[in-house]
Amino acid sequence: MPAIVINGKSYEVSAEPETPLLWVLRGELKLTGTKYGCGIAACGACTVHLDGQPIRSCVTPLSAVGSKAVTTIEGVSGAEADALNTAWNDGDVVQCGYCQTGQLMSACALLRTTPSPTDQDIDEAMSGNICRCGTYPRIRAAIHAAAAARTPTV
Amino acid sequence: MSRFPTLDRREFLRVSALAGGGLLLGAWLDFGTNGMLEAAEAPLTDGEFSPNAFIRIAPSGSITIMAKNPEIGQGIKTMLPMLIAEELDVDWSAITIEQAMSEPAKYGSQVAGGSTATPTNWEPLRKAGAAGRQMLVAAAAQAWNVPAAECTTASGVVTHKASNRQMTYGALATAAAAMPAPDMATVTLKDPKNFRIIGKPMTGVDNHKVVTGQPLFGIDVVVPNMVYGTFEKCPVFAGKAVSANLDEIKALPGVKNAFIVDGGTVLNGLLSGVAILADTWWAAKSARTKLKVTWEEGATAQQSSAAFKAKAIELFTQAPARALRADGDVNGAFAAATKTVEATYEYPFLAHATLEPQNCTASFTNDAIEIWAPTQNPQSGRVLVSKTLGIAEKDVAIHITRSGGGFGRRLNNDYMVEAAMIAKLAGVPVKLLWTREDDIRHDFYRPAGFHKLKGAVDASGKLTAWQNHFVTFSNNGTDFVPSAGMDGTEFPSLAVANRNVSVSTMPLGVPTGYLRAPGSNALAFVNESFIDELAHAARKDPLQFRLELLAQLPTETPRGAMVPSRMKGVLEQVAQKSGWGTRKLPKGSGMGIAAYFSHRGYFAEVVEVNVSRAGALTVKKVWAVGDVGSQIINPSGAMNQVEGSVIDGIGEALAQEITIEAGRAKQSNFNDFPLIRLKQVPVIDVSFRITEYPPTGMGEPALPPVVPALCNAIFAATGKRIRSLPLTKHNLSWA
């Protein structure tokens, strides 16, 4: 049985190697914060981090995970994640909320590489994540707010 | 037997129901039961106070407010409890909000649809809170032996100022439970100027759970011993499964069972298909790739979008089947006109594409079923499950989960009855989850439609004739299929003396249903675009042309009809906000205006676009002004709804289309049914015009005008008139 590392913890999983990581997380491990939206990497609802990089878990087979560290919404932490969480709450971003965990995982990866993103940086990093409710203006504003909260004021 | 027994608190319940229910029944149709003031049936611990189904106060001081309606992203789980908390006079931060199960006898209507929750709950839920407050005050007054009128409340505390005494609601809970329920006619409500919760921007009560990924949605439900299911239906709507390689499927890894489910021909009932159950959903879905089914496709296999269009064009050459509204002398007005304009408009079928695919979890035992469903309409789901499974309605218990989007899709409960029947046949709890492909291919689509329009203007630029021949769908020539109808009074019909609004129909085997602002989302595009055409023909500013049309409407409007002064108000405000008519834009840039009344709400919107010479469209900015009455209950949620509606409408117009070919949907996922993405979204300026009318709902009315405002802006920028959607069909390049 392969062992995978999720949110810093090692799990032995029984799924076949070709099983998408999404269904290992949602099914076997009951980590349901990562969502199924399309199954073809077109909506971003299933975004998790693999060694810190945002990936679409619905098309990432278990065999491609290997010993790389998987981080899901249940385990994401650190200054960027905290700032985003606060900004998402304060900005009342959520409508139905289904896409938002994937949005946050993409946004967190963005802020870790680009602490003060421009609108264009946000367009590029976030346009793989669909929000069917159209909370996009608030997502953009929350990312800017989180970045500002992380940037030391002079 | 029922596994959901009623608890033994009937005597108290009867008293309060008798004392309170009658008035509500008479005043509020949506509370069509007198259960409004029944006490909560959740087991109360000793000394708890539950003046009605919506409020529970424990001696410890904990206050629970029930959220009755399904939360689908419209913010109702936050907004409705605000009404109760305001009048109960408790701090928003001090309460716990719980999602109610589907129990209409206790909560009244629990449907998320038609933007109805605000108008139907605005008064009853405030009265529910006020009645609770009044009983707590009565308990305190009795304890202190002072007149109730001398007691005041604030933040969950009753105060008698003269004697400097205070008691918390928790301390009063036991005594309050023994007080008679007040006559609802005597329950007084706060003066709005004293509101402390209503009108304040409140963040969503489940935001923290959402952003930390806690299980909330139907897809997240786990029940003991459940298996995972997938269900393959005939790609042709309502086709029947004749046979399948079930033995082969049952031998695949993880598969527990596979069987054919018989179905009927009612499109929103149980349809035939093949169920595969496995110990993981991925195993079930993997097995499905090996599934081979022989289908009996049925007559719908002969239908296609291309054939509908061809038939519509043919019908346009004939006299309409029937008139919806005919007055004056249309032909005479055309003959006398200075200018006539004719145009044909069309729009496609659309899917809802809720981001959470349809799903439902069901557990069937001993002729009773327990269901966990993301549904907008649990009441109709209960009836459907009861009838289809042949069990009593009281033995269908429905837990309302959060829905990952609704948009009208989950007003139908097809996925619920599928899960219920599969669980019954399998004899184990089943979690049914549709694939995205199932979801796009088995929707209740916004119906396509075709309109042949003709208008006339006289020498003064006044609209003197309006003619609309609508070709839509009906299977008996009389009743429109769901969401495919039109009213002959659609604006601007009543503003024109000579009018002829008529209809011809074609049969349809494709399921249709209610997509956000149903009817309006298509008719606004047609009518508000053609009004723009007529304004240009009349050489008038499109805003001015609309204001003149509004002035021609009868001032006495029947109840529920558009009030012209309110539409005028939002048009003038959006013109002022957007600088309409004051900015000179270069070719390739343009502004368009449109306004629409739907779901009791008035929205006027201006869209500014830029179109490159090569035809690349950028939607730059949208100004939206709404009139939904005297009070914006939760400004944060309301703004979010308007922004979302505007973005939704732009997304539909840009690229969305469901094409029917050989009786099936051609599109199947976000690669061929593209949803709008962040980089396509304009800046949106939202404002409200406060009027003296009672508050109305926010889920829908902001959507319809954005589509024609966008198309009218494209015309202003390029001179190209958009008469069919989506925009991806058009070459917008200009020289």
Structure tokens given for B464? 């003197």
Position B109: which residue type? S
Nearest to B136 by CA among B13, B30, B22, B49: B49
Per-residue pLDDT tens over the stretch B123-155: 999 999 999 999 999 999 999 999 999 999 999
Interacting residues of B84 by C-beta distance below 8 A, sequence separation 6+: B54, B55, B65, B125, B126, B128, B129, B132
Superfamily of domain A3-71: Beta-grasp domain (3.10.20.30)
Q: What is the rounded distance in angstroms from the CA atom of residue B735 to the CA atom of residue B720?
A: 12
Residue A11's beta-bridge partner residues?
Answer: A4
What is the domain partition of chain A in residue ranges? Answer: 3-71, 79-150
Nearest by CB to residue B647, choosing from A89, A93, A136, is A136
Extended beta strands in B406-528, E state = 430-433, 449-457, 463-473, 498-506
The amino acid occupying position B643 is E
**Separation between Cα atoms, residue B159 and residue A17, nearest integer Å:** 67
- Look at phi and psi of residue B155 and say left if phi exceeds 0, alpha if psi is from -120 to 50, else beta: left
Would you tell me how many other CB atoms lie within 10 Å of the CB of residue A1?
7
Q: Are B609 and B590 in contact (CB under 8 A)?
A: yes
Give CATH for domain A79-150. Answer: 1.10.150.120
**Residues of A with Cβ-Cβ distance to B640 under 8 angstroms:** 92, 95, 135, 138
Q: What is the pLDDT of residues B88-122, one digit of tens each?
A: 999 999 999 999 999 998 898 999 998 889 999 99
Distance in angstroms (rounded) separating the CA atoms of residues B154 and B143: 18
Residue B39: C-alpha distances to residues A144, B7, B14, B327, B353 (Å): 47, 11, 9, 54, 39
> Distance (Å, rounded) from C-alpha B126 to C-alpha B54?
11
Token pair 């209507």 is found at: B109
Q: Is the ipTM of this complex over 0.85?
A: yes
Per-residue confidence at B16, pLDDT binned at 50, 70, 90?
Answer: very low
Calculate what percentage of chain B has a pLDDT beyond 70.
Answer: 94
User: Mean pLDDT in chain B?
Assistant: 92
Distance from CA of B675 to the nearest CA of A (A): 7
Query: Does the structure show a pLDDT above 60 at B82?
Result: yes
Minimal Cβ distance to A73: which of B201, B212, B253: B212
User: What structural domains and CATH numbers belong to chain B?
Assistant: 10-197 (3.30.365.10), 218-299+364-433 (3.30.365.10), 305-349+445-729 (3.30.365.10)
Sequence-distant (6+) residues with CB within 8 A of B665 are B235, B349, B351, B440, B441, B442, B443, B445, B658, B659
Quote the longest CA-to-CA distance of chain A.
53
**With contacts defined as CB-CB under 8 Å, which chain A residues touch B211?**
73, 85, 88-89, 94, 97, 100-101, 104
Interface contact B253, partner A, CB < 8 A:
yes
- Give the tens place of pLDDT for each residue, B219-250: 999 999 999 999 999 999 999 999 999 999 99
pLDDT in tens, B304-362: 999 999 999 999 999 999 999 999 999 999 999 999 999 999 999 999 999 999 999 99
- Are residues B691 and B626 in contact, defined by beta-carbon separation less than 8 angstroms? no
pLDDT the model gives residue B333: 97
Q: Tell me if residue A28 falls in helix, strand or coil.
A: helix
Angle at B569 between CA B568 and CA B570, to 5 degrees: 95
b (16+ CB within 10 A) / e for B692-703: ebebbbbbbbbb
DSSP code at position B516: S
Q: Is the distance from CB of A80 to CB of A150 less than 8 angstroms?
A: yes
Per-residue pLDDT, B44:
63
Average pLDDT value for residue range A29-33: 97
Look at residue A150 in the predicted model and tell me its pLDDT.
84
Q: In whole angstroms, what is the distance from residue B282 CA to residue A47 CA?
A: 18
Task: Please say if the pLDDT value at position B483 is more than 90.
Answer: yes
Residues of B in contact with A137 (CB under 8 A): 643, 681, 683-684
CB-based contact (8 Å) between B404 and chain A?
Answer: yes
Mutate to test the interface with B, among A32, A95, A99 (most CBs of B within 10 A): A95
Q: What is the 3-state secondary structure (H, E, C) of B60-99?
A: CCCEEEEECCCCCCCCHHHHHHHHHHHHHCCCHHHEEEEE
d(CA B565, CA B548): 12
Chain B hits for A32, CB-CB cut-off 8 Å, are 213, 215, 219-220, 222
Question: In this complex, do B73 and A123 lie within 8 Å of one another by their Cβ atoms?
Answer: no
Whether B73 sits inside 8 A of A95 (CB atoms) is yes
Closest chain B residue to the Cα of A119, Cα to Cα: B679
The residue whose two tokens read 């009868």 is B554
| For helices A100-113 and A119-126, angle between their N-to-C axes, nearest 10 degrees | 130
Mutation to test the A interface, candidates B678, B683, B700, B706, most A Cβ within 10 Å: B678
pLDDT beyond 70 at B440: yes
Name the minimum distance, in Å, from the CA of A123 to any CA of chain B: 5
Per DSSP, what are the bridge partners of residue B498? B465
B719, pLDDT greater than 80: yes
Q: What is the spatial distance between Cα B258 and Cα B588, in angstroms, rounded to a whole number?
A: 58
Judge whether B126 and B694 are in contact, CB under 8 Å. Answer: no
